[in-house]
Structure 1
């Protein structure tokens, strides 16, 4: 009977302590105060773009990157239209130099992806040369899997990482 009474006292003490700690909160300042337009919204940004801003991937606008199939380095018909648009821009902007950057998704070894990225950059450069762009205006680099855009392990992420970017260097 003594143990039951002691247990009962311990339980009651714990409950009283719990109620004492939780208590009622103080009514303070109204937390639903209005936020002014300048608070929390950050600085106002222009929606205008220029030729050197990034538009898609890591490509300088108004050019667009091109995308490749898994383990592919040849330019397909759909991506050829993008390259034709990039070539038209480069013809209008004869003073610009471009770096074609080959990229891969993270599947495969580092060495393999660097080689695949290089093949992608070189085939893209050659396609632009065939469209009439002076090869002296074009340089290439392979990033392999080093400059991922998306870090997911799904087809959407992998597709976005298999690309050639066009970066204005001068």
Structure 2
């Protein structure tokens, strides 16, 4: 009886092997498989790889032509190397009096959600105060904190963290 089971089992394994290992063959050569007319294989209109003339986003989630402002770890003060960016944003707002802006405070993912929401708010308020000191009317500026909720780079390295510690400046329609 066990001999019969062993023979059936062996036959099943051999049958499965032969069934699954067989592959179809195509007698055509590689040249025959390649399309003969490249134009006949086009799927749609070609797209330009050039940047649009009037982009709506500059960096991060910031509306062009404004620039995001980046922060040091666990800090909400405007860094010296970021002053030119916030001044550029202020100049744009001075030239476009009808524009209102939402300043979105962001953090890297380190720390608790509650802490990061508070830090993002402090960063947004810091930028708002800086713009007000440049002469921008407070009524044209709103703030919101996204904390770590709107990560741009999901890496776990300093470059990714640094890109996520920012204020975005979004034009409100």
Q: Same fold (TM over 0.5)?
A: yes
> Which portions of structure 1, spanning 4 or more consecutive aligned residues, are displaced by more than 6 angstroms?
none
2:34 corresponding residue in structure 1: 32
What is the CA-CA distance between 1:48 and the residue it aligns to? 2.4
What is the CA-CA distance between 1:32 and the residue it aligns to? 2.8
2:3 corresponding residue in structure 1: none
* The 10-residue stretch of structure 1 (36-45 or 76-85) with the greater mean CA deviation from structure 2: 36-45
**Structure 2, unaligned runs of 5 or more:** 1-6
What is the CA-CA distance between 1:66 and the residue it aligns to? 0.6
What is the CA-CA distance between 1:31 and the residue it aligns to? 3.8
**Structure 1, unaligned runs of 5 or more:** 1-6
Q: Secondary structure at the match of 1:132?
A: coil
- Aligned Cα RMSD in Å? 2.9
Distance 2:57 2:103 in 1: 14
1:77 aligns with 2:88: no
Give the paired residue count: 161
TM-score, normalised relative to structure 2: 0.79
What is the CA-CA distance between 1:35 and the residue it aligns to? 4.4
Q: Secondary structure at the match of 1:147?
A: coil
What is the CA-CA distance between 1:22 and the residue it aligns to? 3.1
The 1:38–1:138 alpha-carbon spacing in structure 2 relative to 1, beyond 3 Å, is farther
Distance 1:20 1:125 in 2: 67
Distance 1:69 1:35 in 2: 52
Equivalent residue in structure 2 for 1:94, among 92, 97, 100 = 97
1:111 aligns with 2:114: yes
Equivalent residue in structure 2 for 1:166, among 152, 164, 169 = 169
Distance 2:107 2:149 in 1: 8
Q: Secondary structure at the match of 2:58?
A: strand
1:47 corresponding residue in structure 2: 51
2:65 corresponding residue in structure 1: 62
